[in-house]
Amino acid sequence: MNETPVKILLIEDDIFQVTIVRSLLAKTSSFHYELTHEDRLGSGLKRLQSDDFDVILLDLVLPDSSGLATFTRVYHKAPEVPIVVLSGNDDETIAFKAVQQGAQDYLVKSQLKKGMLARALSYAIERQRMRAELARKKRQLEKSQAQFRASEERLRSVINYAPVVLWAIDPDGIFTFSEGRGLDVLGLQPGQVVGTSIFDLYADYPEIIDAAHRALAGEAITQVVEIEAIVFEDRYSPIHDEDGTLLSVIGVAIDITERKQAEKAVRESEERFRDFTTTPQPPTFRSVEMGTFAAPTSKPHTCSATPSTT
């Protein structure tokens, strides 16, 4: 089975060191790789612009760049590619600083041994992959948090301005949440009933008690209930965990009093119109010339008018 080779960019000006790197990699039979070599920082940056690499082996001291600036320029050019710094004995401190600023590892040239180089490159690639995955999850989490905050603000607007009550009870029927402008018409404050049993608070409303029992048994319910002349459409939604255990029942109560009053007015108007159109009406008369009066359903009747004398 052919494995995809690891694409390595080696930026090193010392030909002897390049030969050592090639030799050490060749001796690791389980490590499949493609090595590209550049001897200047400038040419290495151009190569990064034109080709894709899995890892970079970087000497910090080059003819056209030296020290930590060498790492910084490569890192800014390809921040997603792991960098392993090749360090001489006299610049190990700088190599360590490079690791602190984003390099995956550093190797001292004089201490390179068989297997060490391939292992360091493999670990660098894996650490970079894990770092990228963590960064992706962090971005995803931040996006989700931003969306949640936006949804929370929209929900807060609904709670504050719409005639609704949002509530929740635990498996024992104890209120754990109660918010919304709809509480005003009931004479309640947000959170006032938290800690109170729904069965105690609404003991005089059997339809609410029945709905609460059914919802706590796992049934989703929508009902219309009247509380102190205020009509609510109340929705009960049971919430379960992955094992099916009931965690809570959340609900939304919407004040529909005005809607019900409007519906009643429409019905009454329709009934009056229906009564008017189905009840027999008395005949109407119209006057005609020559003193004749006629009813729509009878023959004309004539009455003689006696002229008055003066």
In the chain, list all ranges with CATH 3.40.50.2300: 6-135
Closest CA to 77 of 106, 104, 51: 51
Angle, in degrees to the nearest 10, between helices 68-77 and 41-50: 10
Instruction: Give the pLDDT of residue 1.
Output: 42
pLDDT in tens, the chain (310 residues): 457 899 999 999 999 999 999 999 998 878 899 999 999 999 999 999 999 999 999 999 999 999 999 999 999 999 999 999 998 866 788 888 999 999 999 999 888 888 899 999 999 999 999 988 998 999 988 888 888 777 767 767 766 777 889 999 999 999 999 998 888 888 999 999 999 999 999 999 999 999 999 999 999 999 999 988 889 999 999 999 988 999 999 999 998 888 888 878 888 777 777 776 776 666 655 555 555 555 555 455 554 445 544 4
Q: Are 87 and 94 in contact (CB under 8 A)?
A: yes
In the chain, list all ranges with CATH 3.30.450.20: 162-260
Give backbone dihedrals phi and psi of 247, rounded to 5 degrees, phi first: -100, -40
CATH of 6-135, one of 3.90.1150.10, 3.50.50.60, 3.30.720.200, 3.40.50.2300: 3.40.50.2300
Tell me the whole-structure pTM to 2 decimals: 0.52
Closest CA to 221 of 247, 248, 252, 196: 252
Collapsed DSSP state (helix, strand, coil) of residue 271: helix
CATH architecture of 162-260: 2-Layer Sandwich (3.30)
Collapsed DSSP state (helix, strand, coil) of residue 108: strand
